[in-house]
Structure 1
Amino acid sequence: MFSDTATQLQPVFAQWIQNTHVLASSATAPGATTSTSLTWGSGDLVVVGGKTALLPIPLGTADFLVHHIHAFTIHVRVLILLNDVLFARSSRLIPDKANLGFRFPCDGPRNGQTCQVFVWDHVFLELFWMYNAISIVIFHFSWKMQSDVWGSISDQGVVTHIMGGNFVQSSITINSLGVTHYFHGRIAATWAFFLARIITVEYGIKI
């Protein structure tokens, strides 16, 4: 549905940042003739031993989607930490939480619904989302490089990328991230999981 060859979702803000870095060299370093990095979108590609080492990195629809996933995971982490700080000592459900220690038992949904109200659980939940955020960053970098940067170059100057030269296509044919995978219902399952975690965090904030 969304791709660079169909309905495009251009990351306008990220593209503006790239353009700012291209133009910044002329303002901050008048003697410079190029931008701070080829990846911002200017200059020729760098070839080492017939392989592409560096070249301008365009941003497209898949980057727009992954950037929003980055923002989502970071905001969820901040909300969890904020919840932990605000309700570390007391809450409407457990006003004497400070007297119960850093961790106390969970009664479960059928016996009082006191799960995910003590401090340690929020620390664990924050670490879990930190892992999610780091994993998506690694995924984004690795597949972006393989799709749009790394590859071999022919005598005619044509670059053949490892993953075919289209980050949109390569990002929807992998199994490591359900949000950008449109097969077998993984995108629905992943967003359902995200929604469930949001409800959990929101429930924790309200108590």
Structure 2
Amino acid sequence: MDFSASCSKNEERLVGNRRLGWSDQERHGSSGAEVKDWLPNKQGMSAPDSRAKAVAKHTFSWWAMSFDVLGASLFLGFHTLGLYVHNDVMLAFGTPEKQILIEPIFAQWIQSAHGKTSYGFDVLLSSTNGPAFNAGRSIWLPGWLNAINENSHSLFLTIGPGDFLVHHAIALGLHTTTLILVKGALDARGSKLMPEKKDFGYSFPCDGPGRGGTCNISAWGAFDLAVLWMLNTIGWVTFYWHWKHITLWQGNVSQ
């Protein structure tokens, strides 16, 4: 049986089913949000309860989600993109020594703590003189350290500067997609806290920060944008999977 082909098919099924479910959850959630905003007396909710709920959910959604998650995602994601472009240009110009290569120290330390010795951290299970290593030979799963430190088909793939860049790019896509889905479900249409721009005399729903706060968004707009970012992220994951397949699983470490 071709292990790589089997994994690839299973990955496609898993990613395909999950991406549709991820987006559909936002669409159904945002439909409910619209009804509750426009019909505050439905489902046994009084107007004061509806206003309190609107304040709570929009305060959480806008302040907590937008500034923290979006700011961190954009910072890491676009700095990752900048580093990738810089390194690619340096290679193209024949000056690889000018690359900015950042080792994923924390991730390597985590792998070392679980027994991978190639990084030279000498910590926990990767320290042959430590109590964890000595006790592990009789406690941990049989063959665990051998499986981690194999040159091929290792349970923990060796990671370096390239993995650092790709991991942060994928993190950008995941967090941005999640943010769009959450805000699309919570902030779709108008609310007590963020009324529709049309109520202020505007004909276009998004005309900057004045008179109404943030731009109002529709559930379908958030859905479409989230699907775009979802496919973008899946593209990065697919590229990364095949890259690791070609380099490590097929033994072409030089690539």
Q: What is the TM-score of this pair, normalised by structure 1?
A: 0.51
Query: Kindly tell me: are residues 93 and 19 of structure 1, through their superposed partners in 2, closer, same or farther at Cα, counting changes over 3 Å?
Result: same
Aligned residue pairs: how many? 133
Query: Kindly tell me: are residues 95 and 87 of structure 1, through their superposed partners in 2, closer, same or farther at Cα, counting changes over 3 Å?
Result: farther
Residue in structure 2 matched with residue 43 of structure 1 by the alignment: 150
User: Take 2:110 and 2:198, find their aligned partners in 1: how far apart are those partners?
Assistant: 48
Query: Kindly tell me: are residues 130 and 29 of structure 1, through their superposed partners in 2, closer, same or farther at Cα, counting changes over 3 Å?
Result: farther
Q: Helix, strand or coil for the counterpart of 1:90? A: coil
Residue in structure 2 matched with residue 19 of structure 1 by the alignment: 112
User: Take 2:175 and 2:146, find their aligned partners in 1: how far apart are those partners?
Assistant: 29
Q: 1:134-176, CA deviations, whole angstroms, 9 ceiling, x for partnerless residues?
A: 111111010112022304xxxxxxxxx2xxx234xxxxxxxxx
User: Take 1:88 and 1:60, find their aligned partners in 2: how far apart are those partners?
Assistant: 41
Percent identity over the alignment is: 29
Q: Give the number of the structure whose residues are more often strand, by fraction.
A: 1
The one-letter code matched in structure 1 to 2:233 is A
Q: Contact conserved, 1:34 with 1:43, CA < 8 A, in 2? A: no
The one-letter code matched in structure 2 to 1:17 is I
Aligned partner of 1:88 among 188, 203, 224: 188
Residue in structure 1 matched with residue 139 of structure 2 by the alignment: 30
The one-letter code matched in structure 2 to 1:82 is V
Q: Does 1:166 align with 2:254?
A: yes
Residue in structure 1 matched with residue 166 of structure 2 by the alignment: 66
Q: Give the number of the structure whose residues are more often helix, by fraction.
A: 2
User: Take 2:204 and 2:136, find their aligned partners in 1: how far apart are those partners?
Assistant: 62
Instruction: Specify which structure has the bigger relative contact order, considering alpha-carbon pairs within 8 angstroms and separated by 6 or more residues.
Output: 2
User: Take 1:93 and 1:37, find their aligned partners in 2: how far apart are those partners?
Assistant: 61
Unpaired segments ≥5 residues, structure 2: 1-85, 116-124, 126-131, 207-214
The one-letter code matched in structure 2 to 1:11 is P
Higher Rg: 2
Q: Does 1:112 align with 2:204?
A: yes
Q: What is the TM-score of this pair, normalised by structure 2?
A: 0.42
The one-letter code matched in structure 1 to 2:168 is H
Q: Helix, strand or coil for the counterpart of 2:188? A: coil
Q: Contact conserved, 1:21 with 1:35, CA < 8 A, in 2? A: no
Q: Contact conserved, 1:89 with 1:96, CA < 8 A, in 2? A: no
